[in-house]
Each structure stands twice: as C-alpha cells, then as structure tokens.
C-alpha cells in the first residue's frame, strides 16, 4: 500500500482485471521515485493507496518537528510517575507528542496512466487546487482541484463537478463560471422542491384538525333537560 500513510501490511494488493498490471502492481509494495522538486530538493514519488494511485512530495525541511523538548518532558514525566506511584497518588498527565507534518498528496485524475506520470506532471498535480480566476460577479477566486469524488471547481464554498471529458488542469474561467451557475441552479431547484414537500406535509397534518373544527361547529347543541314538575 506504499505506506499510506504508515502501512504495516506486507501482503501485495491484488490488481483488479482491466488495470495496468505491471507498474501499478509494483506500486502496491514500493513507491516509484520520480525526482526532486527544483529549488527545494524535496523528493517526489508515485504511490498507491486505498483510493488508487497518487503522487506525493516530502515535507519541507523547515517543517520537521524538533522532539528535543518532548524527549526531555517525557523523562521528567517518567520520574514523576514513579514518585506518585510510590506515594499512592495520581500519575501526572503524559506530555503530548508533537505531530510530524504530513507529506502533501494528490490522487491521479482518471485517464492518466501511472506509466505516463512524469516529475513535471506530478508537480502540476501537487500544485492543485489551482486558481482559475476571480468570479466576474462576486470577485471571489474560483479554484480547480481533484477530490475523492473527482475533479471539481470551487467558488465561495460551493463545489461543482468537472465532467469526465474535461481536464482540471486546463479548464478556463468561462467554463468554470458556467459549471458553478449550473450547480447553483440545481441546488436552488432542490431547495424549492424540499420547501414544497415540507409545506405539503404541514398541510396534511393540519387537515384532520381543521376537519374536526368544522364538524364541531355543525354539531347541534344538546337540549336542556326539562325541570321536573313539582309534586302536588
């Protein structure tokens, strides 16, 4: 599983029928190094994870975690824990270990074979999401990227899927605006349908109560019982 992120299994993954069997199968156990990022020297590699093949770049050196203070705190904690145990007191809270930075990853878009992934292509994918441009009406940035459910354009918190026959790397402003507008129209139609359904359900609940009220109005009042005649 190409250590995604830290795989402890050594059994090779089975390559389903129809997938590239050579390089893709090899990625199941060993990542393929594509080269280093110009200017930083960070290693870029091609790997295979639970959601398919992906590219990865190592964290920047300045992001590396210094465990010196943590190691010292652990030693103090261990000594304090011994003392509290001897005294029958509650042990102090264990120091929290700093989290190491995770390498940036990006899944491959459909149609891109693992054998065609070059260092240049990998760096372009790792640069996602990319800025497409500012929306002409809102002035907010439109971005294009690839998520778990495929390529998308994003604007002001809204995501619209990019059709399979279009390229996330080259989609332009006009098309992106169009996809976002279509998404907003679909969402508005769904909201309207939900509101209409909710109103209909509310009317159904009110109908029996209204029926009872009308029935109560039509029901004649009971005649008062005539007073008993006094005995002679």
pLDDT in tens, the chain (232 residues): 545 444 444 333 334 444 455 778 888 888 999 999 999 999 999 999 888 899 999 998 878 788 899 999 999 999 999 989 888 888 899 999 988 888 999 999 888 899 999 999 999 999 999 999 999 999 999 999 998 889 999 999 999 999 999 999 999 999 999 999 999 999 999 999 989 888 887 777 776 766 676 666 666 655 555 555 555 4
pLDDT for position 14: 39
The pLDDT value given to residue 142:
98
179 C-beta neighbours (distance < 10 Å), count: 22
Q: What pLDDT score does 28 carry?
A: 81
Largest CA distance in the chain: 124
Taking residue 196's Cβ as centre, other Cβ atoms within 10 Å add up to: 10
What pLDDT is stored for residue 201 in this prediction? 75
Which among 6, 115, 10 has a CA at the least distance from the CA of 53? 115
Residue 49 to residue 67: CA distance in whole angstroms: 29
Q: Provide the CA 45 distance to its chain's centre, in angstroms.
A: 23
Give the pLDDT score at 9: 42
* Residue-level pLDDT at 223: 57
Residue 219, both tokens:
């029901």
Beta carbons within 8 Å of 102's beta carbon, 6+ residues apart = 5, 59
């Amino acid at each position: 599983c190409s250590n995604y992120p830290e795989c402890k299994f050594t059994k090779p993954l089975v390559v389903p029928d129809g997938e590239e069997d050579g390089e893709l199968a090899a990625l199941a156990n060993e990542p393929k190094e594509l080269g280093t990022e110009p200017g930083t020297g960070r290693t870029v590699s091609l790997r295979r994870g639970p959601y398919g093949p992906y590219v990865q770049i190592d964290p920047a050196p300045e992001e590396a975690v210094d465990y010196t203070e943590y190691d010292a705190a652990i030693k103090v904690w261990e000594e304090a824990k011994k003392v509290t145990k001897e005294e029958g007191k509650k042990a102090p809270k264990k120091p929290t270990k700093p989290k190491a930075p995770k390498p940036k990853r990006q899944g491959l878009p459909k149609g891109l074979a693992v054998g065609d992934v070059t260092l240049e292509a990998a760096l372009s994918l790792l640069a996602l999401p990319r800025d497409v441009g500012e929306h002409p009406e809102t002035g907010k940035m439109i971005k294009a990227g690839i998520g778990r459910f495929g390529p998308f354009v994003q604007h002001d918190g809204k995501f619209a899927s990019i059709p399979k026959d279009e390229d996330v790397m080259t989609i332009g402003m006009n098309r992106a605006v169009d996809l976002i507008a279509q998404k907003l129209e679909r969402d508005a139609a769904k909201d309207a349908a939900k509101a209409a359904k909710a109103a209909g359900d509310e009317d159904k609940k009110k109908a029996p109560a209204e029926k009872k009220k009308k029935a109560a109005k039509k029901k004649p009042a009971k005649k008062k019982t005539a007073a008993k005649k006094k005995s002679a």
